[in-house]
Amino acid sequence: MLESGITAKGQTTLPKAVREALSVRAGDRVRYVIQDGDVRILKVGPVGRLFGMLKYDGPPVTLEEMDQAIAEGASDA
């Protein structure tokens, strides 16, 4: 089990094993997720890394078509 102290300003240092597990280094950002009394620390990645993750080979759609698909999906719920 890993531990670290809290300073008077509420700051802490992530232990080396945690930094390595998250692949974070100085300047990176982390996110804290609190759920059912537990806290998870997640690495925050740049939005740019999401580019190209979703493949779509069909024709481009218009904003109106997107709005219509959203409205149809909302009415199905």
Confidence (pTM)? 0.57
Average of per-residue pLDDT across 36-46: 92
27 pLDDT above the threshold of 80: yes
Could you tell me if 13 and 28 are in contact, meaning their C-beta atoms sit under 8 angstroms apart?
A: no
- CA-to-CA dists, residue 3 to 16, 45, 69, angstroms: 11, 25, 49
18 pLDDT above the threshold of 70: yes
Helix (H) or strand (E) holding 64: helix 63-76
Average of per-residue pLDDT across 51-55: 81
75 compared with 37, residue with greater pLDDT: 37
The pLDDT of residue 55 is 83
